[in-house]
């Protein structure tokens, strides 16, 4: 499946926000407000309502590393839920296995978390899982393989012991999903209503 492999700083500059795509935020901050391209240094014109909605939709795509087709599929699933579509959309994105690895602090970015999963370094309920888009459920147990501990970025994450999202419980190289993520658990500045409006046109 196709995915973006170019410079991620361009994506952050396109949106005008730090999307946590790089592990060093200082490099991003230096040129964050200069849009990419030949005319990037010129001022930004006022955006239409459609452009604002499109920008928010693209922001979610960039943050979670999805293609348009993948995001549309998640939206369709969220819209069939009994819960609020926006909240359910974010919950489904948060429950992706690559995002869970990132939230646990086992990888510095979602892109590196995706690589850890796709290379077979993660086990779900005792079985190898190499599908980054797999949705975790309550009581699922996620563990890293012994080979994963030798990866420098993973080892650094284990040593750091960073704060974990409230819906996850972690103990060294093992973690458990204790509940589904809620809107308050998501720290990124996302206006999900704009994304719903974009897809509801």
Indicate if 29 and 88 belong to the same structural domain.
Answer: yes
User: What value does the CA radius of gyration of the chain take, rounded to a whole number of Å?
Assistant: 17
Here the tokens at position 167 are 């819906």
* Res 1: pLDDT: 45
Is 89 in contact with 194 (CB distance < 8 Å)? Answer: no
* Res 29: pLDDT: 60
Indicate if 53 and 73 belong to the same structural domain.
Answer: yes
Considering only residues 130 and 201, tell me which one the structure prediction assigns the higher pLDDT: 130
Evaluate if residue 2 carries a pLDDT over 50. Answer: yes
What rounded mean pLDDT belongs to the chain?
Answer: 84
Evaluate if residue 193 carries a pLDDT over 70. Answer: yes
Considering only residues 58 and 15, tell me which one the structure prediction assigns the higher pLDDT: 58
DSSP state of 107: S
Question: Which CATH number do you get for residue 157?
Answer: 3.10.290.10
- Residue found under tokens 């005008």: 16
Evaluate if residue 18 carries a pLDDT over 70. Answer: no
In this structure, of 29-43, 67-81, 150-164, the range with the lowest mean pLDDT score is 29-43
Indicate if 178 and 195 belong to the same structural domain.
Answer: no
Is 9 in contact with 28 (CB distance < 8 Å)? Answer: yes
pLDDT tens, 68-106? 999 999 999 999 988 889 999 999 999 999 999 999 988
Tell me whether residue 27 is in a domain: yes
pLDDT tens, 158-190? 888 777 888 999 888 899 999 999 988 888 888
From 106, 182, 118, 181, select the one nearest 151 (Cα to Cα). Answer: 106
pTM here? Answer: 0.83
* Res 32: pLDDT: 62
Tell me whether residue 2 is in a domain: no
Q: Please give the Cα distance from 44 to 108 (Å, whole number).
A: 31
Indicate if 52 and 106 belong to the same structural domain.
Answer: no
Indicate if 195 and 124 belong to the same structural domain.
Answer: no
Indicate if 171 and 106 belong to the same structural domain.
Answer: yes
Here the tokens at position 133 are 């888009």
Q: What is the 3-state secondary structure (H, E, C) of 13-32?
A: HHHCCCCCCCCCHHHHHHCC
Tell me whether residue 1 is in a domain: no
Is 19 in contact with 59 (CB distance < 8 Å)? Answer: yes
Structural domain of residue 167, as residue ranges? Answer: 96-183
In this structure, of 19-23, 91-95, 131-135, the range with the lowest mean pLDDT score is 19-23
Please name the residue ranges forming H helices in the chain. Answer: 8-15, 25-30, 49-64, 68-79, 85-94, 97-103, 110-118, 152-160, 192-199
Q: At 122, is the secondary structure helix, strand, or coil?
A: strand
* Res 169: pLDDT: 92
Evaluate if residue 24 carries a pLDDT over 80. Answer: no
Indicate if 106 and 52 belong to the same structural domain.
Answer: no
Question: Which CATH number do you get for residue 52?
Answer: 1.10.1050.10
Tell me whether residue 163 is in a domain: yes
Indicate if 106 and 148 belong to the same structural domain.
Answer: yes
Q: At 97, is the secondary structure helix, strand, or coil?
A: helix
Mean pLDDT of 129-133: 92
Domain count, the chain: 2
Residue 136: φ, ψ to 5°: -80, 155
Tell me whether residue 3 is in a domain: no
Indicate if 120 and 174 belong to the same structural domain.
Answer: yes
Indicate if 112 and 138 belong to the same structural domain.
Answer: yes
């Amino acid at each position: 499946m196709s995915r973006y492999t170019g410079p991620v700083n361009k994506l952050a500059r396109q949106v005008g926000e730090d999307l946590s795509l790089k592990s060093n935020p200082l490099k991003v901050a230096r040129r964050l407000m200069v849009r990419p391209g030949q005319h990037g240094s010129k001022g930004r014109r006022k955006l239409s309502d459609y452009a604002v909605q499109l920008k928010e939709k693209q922001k979610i795509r960039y943050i979670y590393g999805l293609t348009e087709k993948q995001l549309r599929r998640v939206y369709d699933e969220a819209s069939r839920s009994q819960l609020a579509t926006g909240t359910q959309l974010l919950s489904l994105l948060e429950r992706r296995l690559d995002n869970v690895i990132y939230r646990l602090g086992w990888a510095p970015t979602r892109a590196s978390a995706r690589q850890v999963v796709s290379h077979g370094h993660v086990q779900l309920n005792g079985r190898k899982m190499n599908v980054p888009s797999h949705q975790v459920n309550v009581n699922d147990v996620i563990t890293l393989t012994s080979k994963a501990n030798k990866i420098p970025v993973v080892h650094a994450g284990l040593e750091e012991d960073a704060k974990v999202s409230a819906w996850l419980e972690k103990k060294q190289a093992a973690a458990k999903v204790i509940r589904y993520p809620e809107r308050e658990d998501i720290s990124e500045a996302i206006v999900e209503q704009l994304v719903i409006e974009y897809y509801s046109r």
